[in-house]
Each structure stands twice: as C-alpha cells, then as structure tokens.
C-alpha cells in the first residue's frame, strides 16, 4: 500500500511537471520580452537635425560675419562639393574632416551650416553627447546610422558639435568602455570614406587639448580652423547682420558699439542687439536709440542692475574707490581710456569703471602691464589715502593683479632676476630657491604697483575728490564728465606711446 501511494504521488508530480513547466517557462519568456521591450522604450530616441539647402533653417555666407579667414578656408570645401571634377582631374580629394575649435559663441556651428547651404549639400547636425549612453553599443549604432544616411544622400556634411564629449582621449579603463567603443566606431567611419563619397565631416570643440590624437591625425580631421572672437572690423560687420530688420534711430553709432565691445563673441553681440530691441519695446518706442544699446551693453557686460540698499557710508567708499580707478586710468594708460564710471550695482559688482582700447592690440610691454596693475589697485589705494583703511571691495581687483603678476613672472619672463626663461607653476623640476625667487618677483611687482597707486592718489587728491563728489551726486559719469573733472591733470605714464619706437644708437662720429 505504501509503495503504491509513493508511485502514485510520483506519477502526479511527473504529470504536473510535464503539463505546467512548459507553461511557466513560456510565461517567464513573456516577462523577459516585456522587460526588454520596456527597456528599449526607455532608450532615448535622438535623431540628427537635417537641413536641406534653401530651407528656412539654412544659412548663407552673408549671414556669417567676422569670420573672414575661416570663410576663405572653407570656400575650398564649397568649391569641391559644387564642382568635384575640377579638383579630381588634378588628383586632389576633398578633406575628410574639418575641426573648428575656439571659445564658445564664436560661430562654429553657423559656419558649418553656411558651408552646407553654399555647396548645395545636405546638413546633418548631431551633438556628440547623444552618442554616449549607458546602453552598451547604442552610441556606436547611432554613429553607423548617421553616416549611412549621409552617404545615401551625398553630397552631404555631417556636423558633430561638442566633439570632446565622445572624442576625449581614451583611457582604457573599464568604466569608460562604452565611450571608447563609440570613439572607435567614429574613427572607423572616418576611415571608411571613399574618394567619391562626397561626405565631409565637421566637428566643433572648445577643448582641443582633450581630444584623442588618433582623431586629429591627417586623413581624419585634415584641417583645424581656429575661430576666435572678432576684431573691431568683425564686430562691426556682426552688428550690421544682427540689426537687419530692426529700425534704428539716427543717433545709433554701431562703430562706437563695436569699439566698446572688445573681446565679445558673435553670440554676445547678437544678444546685445536683441536686448537693445527689448529695451526700446519696453519704452514703447518705434525705433532703437543709442541709449538702448548703452543699456544693453551694460546688461550683457556688467550684468543686471541691482536695486541694493547701500548706506551713505558705503556709497562714499564706493565713490572714492571708482574715482581712484578712473583717475589712475587717465594718468597711467594711453591706449585704454576711461569711458564711464558708476556706483550703480550691476551683477556682483557694486560699481565699475569702463575702459575702452583705442586700437586692437595683441602685444603689450612690461611697462604697460605694470601701469594696468596700478590702475587696478588704485581703487584700494584711494580707500587707504582718504579713509586710512581698506575694505573687502577690492577682492576682485587683487585677484586680477595677482594673476597678471604671476603670468608676467611665470610665463612672460618679465621679472628682474629671470628674463630669459619661464618658471611655470606646473614645472615640478624647479628648485626651492627658484620657487622662492619666483614668488619674491611676483610680490615685488604687485607691491611696486600698489606703492605707485598710493603716490598718484596722494599727489592728485583734489582731482580724486572732485570725481568722487560728482559720483555721489550723479552716480554715473560719462567720458566728457570725467575729462571736465580732471581739468588740467596731465597723464604721467607714456609707456603706450613708445611701443614700437626704435631706440636711437649712440654711434660715434668718425674723426674728421
């Protein structure tokens, strides 16, 4: 009886397993498929931006200003895509890759769009960050799909923005394996172009030093185009492009705006034009006046005006601080004249003094840099001379002077003891004595500049008082107001006037 019952139970278990195990296995497979399907749905679906020539999103050469050198370099690519036979009969081939590098907002993407439109090629734009995902193989698959689409619709241009997101130097670590695999696929695609594919790859990056060397070699990115912030002529052209269609008043001087915006990029200038239009619209005007551009420049350069409650004591300190900067600018700098001084808070600054260069300069002498340090420290010197104590308001000035003195000694060889070599902070082979000498040279420069600032504040105390009292009364002084207050005070430094002047040789006259 017992053996029969055991056999019966075993038979039932066997029948249950034969009946329900396949069902349970099938159900498990369904759950796995559902989970995979949900995972696929969670994957971001990113498609490249496609722009066809002549569409509303296309860009023409006339819309690209301030990039004359880059446009001349890219014109060859345009000519090749338009008429490839003219170059093929000479054995030439189109550059496979062109890399734009430079500061943000200088027009790298705009230049690539213009090349595509002028050459009649399709334009495929994709951010490199879209290729880097947590799912293994997804980035490489997207790169393959992008290049397949570009080859299918040749002639075409593939533009990869922020290339450093995927093209960073490979580390070989396991946690970067997906990024390395994506970069490897990009390198394979760049090598896979035939001479007749008529596909040009353009990349843009703000960090050229971080890119993998294999990506930069000839045959992949053949050309590197540096796009820098425009000079005065370029800024004037950019302002002309961005004011098309905007009603300007008769008093608008775009040349003056271009002169006051040294160092700004094309994106900054476009923002200034837009802010000026918004300011005019806020006043319900029918045209944009020069005052609107002045407001826009203050907002973009210095920041949003802050309505801070400042005591009379602090206001007096601010007035003398900015008066010190303005007076020292008049006395010490010949190429960067003071244009405005204000004690109205903007951004993080409680007040500021605006200096504008008279000309575009790329080389500066040691004497000019020392004069600039004197101007920067003149605000603190004015506080010391007038009130007998200093405040924390000069923190940013001290930081600027320290950085400049460090560069002069560490990189430019402008110290007194070491004039023929650099002593960079990342050079760990320097001896302790050399490091000590380097720090002493840096301190000597800043201390000398502060001593000079104290001297001129004491010497020209009446002019300092006049400017400070005017700032307390009006809060903002223009260049004309400042020149009237300076009166007959003559500049003391002529360092900028002697730049490029050849020294006369004391040649002995032959005996007669």
Question: For the chain, which residues make up each domain, given as ranges?
Answer: 49-226, 242-302, 312-486
Amino acid 214: pLDDT: 83
Task: Determine the topology of domain 312-486 in CATH.
Answer: Methane Monooxygenase Hydroxylase; Chain G, domain 1 (1.20.58)
Amino acid 374: pLDDT: 94
CA–chain centroid gap for 180, Å, is 27
The pTM of this model reads: 0.75
Contact 95, 223 (CB under 8 A): yes
State the burial class of residue 136 (Cβ atoms within 10 Å of its Cβ: 0-12, 13-18, 19+).
exposed
CATH number 3.40.50.300 given to 49-226: yes
* Catalytic residue check, 322: yes
Residue 196 pLDDT exceeds 50: yes
CA distances from 4 to 7, 15, 97 (A): 5, 16, 82
Question: How does residue 172 score in pLDDT terms, banded at 50, 70 and 90?
Answer: low
242-302 and 312-486 in the same fold: no
Residue 220 pLDDT exceeds 70: yes
The active-site residue, picked from 133, 322, 368, 383, is 322
Mean pLDDT for the chain overall: 81
Amino acid 507: pLDDT: 46
CA–chain centroid gap for 469, Å, is 38
Question: How does residue 512 score in pLDDT terms, banded at 50, 70 and 90?
Answer: very low
Strand partners, 226: 101
What pLDDT digit, counting tens, does each position of 438-495 carry?
Answer: 889 999 999 999 999 999 999 999 999 999 999 999 988 988 899 999 988 888 887 7
State the burial class of residue 45 (Cβ atoms within 10 Å of its Cβ: 0-12, 13-18, 19+).
exposed
Right CATH for 242-302 from 1.10.10.10, 1.10.1200.10, 1.10.8.60, 2.60.120.1440: 1.10.8.60
């Amino acid at each position: 009886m017992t053996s029969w019952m055991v056999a019966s139970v075993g038979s039932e278990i066997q029948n249950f397993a034969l009946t329900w195990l396949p069902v349970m296995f099938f159900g498990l497979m369904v759950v796995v498929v559902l989970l995979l399907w949900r995972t696929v749905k969670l994957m971001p679906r990113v498609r490249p931006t496609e722009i066809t020539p002549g569409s509303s999103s296309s860009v023409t050469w006339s819309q690209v200003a301030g990039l004359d050198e880059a446009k001349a370099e890219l014109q060859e690519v345009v000519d090749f895509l338009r008429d490839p036979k003219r170059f093929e009969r000479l054995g030439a081939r189109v550059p496979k890759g062109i890399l734009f590098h430079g500061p943000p907002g200088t027009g790298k993407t705009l230049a690539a769009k213009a090349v595509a439109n002028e050459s009649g090629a399709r334009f495929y734009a994709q951010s490199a960050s879209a290729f880097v995902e947590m799912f293994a193989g997804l980035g490489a698959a997207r790169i393959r799909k992008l290049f397949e689409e570009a080859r299918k619709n040749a002639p075409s241009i593939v533009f990869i923005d922020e290339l450093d997101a995927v093209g960073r130097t490979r580390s070989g670590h396991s946690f970067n394996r997906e990024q390395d695999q994506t970069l490897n696929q990009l390198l394979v695609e760049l090598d896979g172009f035939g001479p007749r594919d008529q596909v040009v790859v353009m990349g843009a990056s703000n960090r050229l030093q971080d890119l993998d060397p294999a990506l930069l070699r000839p045959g992949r990115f053949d050309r590197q185009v540096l796009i820098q912030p425009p000079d005065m002529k370029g800024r004037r052209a950019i302002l002309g492009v961005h004011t098309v269609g905007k009603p300007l008043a008769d008093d608008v001087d775009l040349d003056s705006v271009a002169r006051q915006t040294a160092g700004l990029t094309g994106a900054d200038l476009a923002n200034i034009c837009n802010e000026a239009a918004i300011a005019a619209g806020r006043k319900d005007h029918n045209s944009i006046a020069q005052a609107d551009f002045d407001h826009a420049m203050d907002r973009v350069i210095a920041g949003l005006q802050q309505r801070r409650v400042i005591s009379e004591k602090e206001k007096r300190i601010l007035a003398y601080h900015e008066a010190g900067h303005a007076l020292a600018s008049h006395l010490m700098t010949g190429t960067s004249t003071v244009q405005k001084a204000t004690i109205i808070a903007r951004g993080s600054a409680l007040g500021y003094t605006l200096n504008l260069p008279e000309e575009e300069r790329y080389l500066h002498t040691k004497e000019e840099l020392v004069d600039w340090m004197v101007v920067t420290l003149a605000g603190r010197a004015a506080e010391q001379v007038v009130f007998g104590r200093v405040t924390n308001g000069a923190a940013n000035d001290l930081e600027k002077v320290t950085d400049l003195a460090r560069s002069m000694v560490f990189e430019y060889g402008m110290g007194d003891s070491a004039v023929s070599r650099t002593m960079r902070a990342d050079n760990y082979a320097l001896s302790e004595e050399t490091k000590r000498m380097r720090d002493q040279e840096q301190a000597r420069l800043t201390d000398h500049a502060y001593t000079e600032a104290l001297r001129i504040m004491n010497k020209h105390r009446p002019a300092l008082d006049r400017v400070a009292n005017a700032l307390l009364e009006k809060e903002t002084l223009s260049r004309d107001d400042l020149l009237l207050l300076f009166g007959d005070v003559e500049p003391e430094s002529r360092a900028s006037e002697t730049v490029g002047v050849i020294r006369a040789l004391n040649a002995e006259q032959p005996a007669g």
